[in-house]
Every structure is written in C-alpha cells, then in structure tokens.
C-alpha cells in the first residue's frame, strides 16, 4: 500500500522543508558582513560549516553548502520506497557527476584532495579517496582519466556514452563537454525511470524534473558553445539531446543562430510561463521561479508520491543556488537590493 510505503519518508520531508531558508533568512545573510552570523543562520537550517573558525572563508562556506545539499539527497535515497529511490537516485548521480567534475577542475589548482571533502558528500569523498589511494582513478582532465573516474563511480554505461565522443574530447580542450555528455546520459536514465511510475504521478514528476533537466541542458550547451573553440561539434551534439519538453534540434538551432535566449523562450512556452510586459527578469529566471513554485506546491498535494521527494530536492537546489548568488554578490560588492532581487523566491 502506497501510504505505508511512504509513512517514514513523508514526515521527514515536511520537517526538512520547514528548515529551508526563507526570505528573512536570506535578507539577514545579505545584510551582515560577520561570518559568524552567516554560519549561525546556516546552521539553524541544518547546514553545518566545519573547520576552524579562524580558517573559514566564503569559498569554504560555498563548498560546504554543496556538500550539505548532496548529503540530504543521499538521505532521501536511503529511506525512500523503490520507485522514488530509483528516480531520485538517477538525479542524484547526475548531480554527483557534476560535483566530481568540479573536483577535477579544483584539483588542477589546489593539488590537494582534501579540498574535495568540502564539496562531496562524506560517502562519495570516502569512495574517491579509496580510488585514488588504490590507483584506480586520478584527477586529471584528459579523456582517459575522466572515463576511469566515471566508470569507478557510475559503471560502464556512462563510459560507453563518453566513448562515442572520445575523439572529440581528445581533440578539444573544452572541459565543459563532459558535463554536457553526462547530462545527456542522465536525461535518458531519468526517462527510463519514469516507466516505473504510475500514471497518477507521471505528470507531476515530469513537470518537476523534466523542466529542471531541460533548463540545465540549455544552460550547459550555451556555456559550452561560448567557451569551446569547436562550436560546430557542440551544435551537432545538441541535436542528440532528447529532452522532456524541448528537443535537441531546438537547442542546436538557437546555438547556430546565436539567439541563445530562444531555447529558454521555447521551454517557457511549453511550461505555460507568460512574461509580463513590465517583467525585468530574463526568461531563464522565470523558468526557475516556475520550477520553485511547482516544487513548493507539491507539499499541498498528495504526499505519498515521488513528486514530494523531488519537490524537496529541487527546493534544496534552489536554496543552494540562492546562497551562491548571495555569497558571490557580497564578494563582488553588489548592492543588497540587487542581490535580493535576483534570488529565486
């Protein structure tokens, strides 16, 4: 019986959601320059900032917010019913892959594996350290090292996906290519996980997770197209993205034309997002706000559903992104008013 399957998870989700930061919490962080006060506000929401107080800085806080986010998703996977753990698990692996790629980039500058402990969940960091100690993996940017890292954490399937583009990866110095390929792979995995969900929940889950994956895919293709020298290859790879609301051809056309915003506009129209005449925000901001509202509304609907877990996960990710915006804004002396205006609330 579905209600019994979710009887342990659902109360926890409601409790965890109650701990998420609200408008007043964000405003307090923006208004203070005292690290101790920022840490105190974060810890009230469950985000523990470890390390010696004298050594803690903004970068360390930012990375530990990432670590907390991944750790909370791990908790859901451990206690969720199978249909939810399968779906959230695929999504988590995608997020974890992104975090691991960030570790590879950071390692090139820091040359210190301990720094990864501030980004990755404890479980992932422990596994990474064992892999490095045993010689199974290295943190180099070359295609073979990336393939070994992916295989070590995620198995042969994702390596096969990367293998299709091995020659391109070897010829290209564009590291963001790996993020794109990983997103394409996990979009397929998540779509296959949808087959385990009954019709009652399918539309809610697709609207939540599909919208988020499509939005991130568009962002990643645009960033790669701007950063990579081989723009034609990025345009060609975009054709293969099999999205939830938009397809690869839509993204590829926007890259070729240089009209990057058109992909976001198409996604917004598919999500029934109407821009107001006096709306100052760009389309991607409105998509994020729509996703946040969809996630929030799950807590007033049927609670015995994978959609509730995904709703919390997406609210958690939006909290992470809001905090990153605040920390970056404060570091760059951006006015408090502008920082607040750009939070997804």
Other beta carbons within 10 angstroms of residue 320's beta carbon come to 17
For 8, which DSSP code? T
Query: Model-level pTM?
Result: 0.89
Residue 113 corresponds to which tokens in the numbers above? Answer: 């594996």
Give the model confidence (pLDDT) of 134-185 as tens digits: 999 988 888 788 888 888 988 877 777 766 766 666 655 677 788 888 888 8
Residue 329 corresponds to which tokens in the numbers above? Answer: 């804004």
d(C-alpha 233, C-alpha 46), whole Å: 43
Contacts of 232 (CB under 8 A, 6+ apart): none
d(C-alpha 218, C-alpha 216), whole Å: 5
Q: How confident is the model at residue 277 (pLDDT cuts 50, 70, 90)?
A: very low
Residue 43 corresponds to which tokens in the numbers above? Answer: 């810890």
Least confident of 14-28, 55-69, 81-95: 55-69
d(C-alpha 339, C-alpha 30), whole Å: 8
Residue 328 corresponds to which tokens in the numbers above? Answer: 């970056």
d(C-alpha 68, C-alpha 17), whole Å: 14
Residue whose structure tokens are 């990983």 = 182
Q: Are the C-beta atoms of residues 293 and 345 closer than 8 Å to each other?
A: no
Residue 12 has pLDDT above 90, yes or no: yes
Give the model confidence (pLDDT) of 82-108 as tens digits: 888 888 998 999 998 888 888 888 887
Q: Are the C-beta atoms of residues 286 and 279 closer than 8 Å to each other?
A: yes
Q: Are the C-beta atoms of residues 75 and 69 closer than 8 Å to each other?
A: no
d(C-alpha 325, C-alpha 331), whole Å: 10
């Amino acid at each position: 019986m579905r209600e019994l399957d979710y009887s342990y998870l659902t109360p926890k989700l409601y409790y965890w959601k109650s701990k998420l930061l609200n408008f007043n919490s964000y405003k307090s962080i923006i208004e203070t320059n005292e690290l101790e006060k920022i840490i105190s506000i974060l810890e009230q929401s469950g985000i523990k900032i470890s390390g010696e107080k004298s050594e803690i800085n903004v970068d360390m806080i930012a990375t530990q917010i990432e670590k907390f986010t991944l750790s909370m998703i791990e908790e859901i996977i451990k206690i969720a019913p199978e249909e939810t753990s399968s779906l959230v698990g695929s999504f988590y692996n995608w997020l974890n892959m992104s975090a691991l790629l960030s570790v590879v980039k950071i390692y090139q500058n820091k040359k210190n594996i301990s720094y990864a402990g501030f980004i990755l969940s404890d479980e992932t960091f422990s596994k990474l350290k064992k892999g490095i100690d045993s010689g199974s993996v290295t943190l180099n940017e070359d295609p073979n090292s990336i393939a070994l890292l992916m295989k070590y954490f995620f198995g042969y399937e994702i390596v096969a996906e990367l293998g299709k583009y091995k020659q391109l990866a070897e010829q290209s110095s564009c590291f963001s290519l790996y993020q794109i390929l990983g997103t394409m792979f996990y979009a397929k995995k998540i779509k296959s996980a949808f087959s385990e969900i009954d019709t009652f929940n399918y539309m809610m889950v697709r609207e939540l997770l599909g919208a988020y994956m499509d939005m991130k895919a568009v962002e990643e293709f645009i960033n790669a197209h701007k950063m990579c020298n081989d723009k034609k290859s990025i345009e060609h790879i975009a054709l293969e993205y099999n999205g939830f609301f938009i397809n690869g051809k839509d993204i590829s056309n926007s890259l070729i034309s240089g009209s990057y915003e058109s992909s976001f506009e198409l996604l917004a129209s598919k999500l029934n997002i109407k821009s107001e005449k006096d709306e100052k925000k760009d389309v991607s901001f409105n998509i994020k706000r729509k996703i946040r509202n969809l996630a929030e509304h799950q807590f007033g609907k049927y609670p015995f559903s994978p959609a509730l877990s995904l709703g919390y996960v997406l609210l958690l990710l939006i909290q992470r992104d809001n905090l990153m915006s605040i920390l970056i804004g404060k570091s760059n002396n951006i006015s408090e008013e502008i920082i607040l205006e750009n939070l997804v609330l």
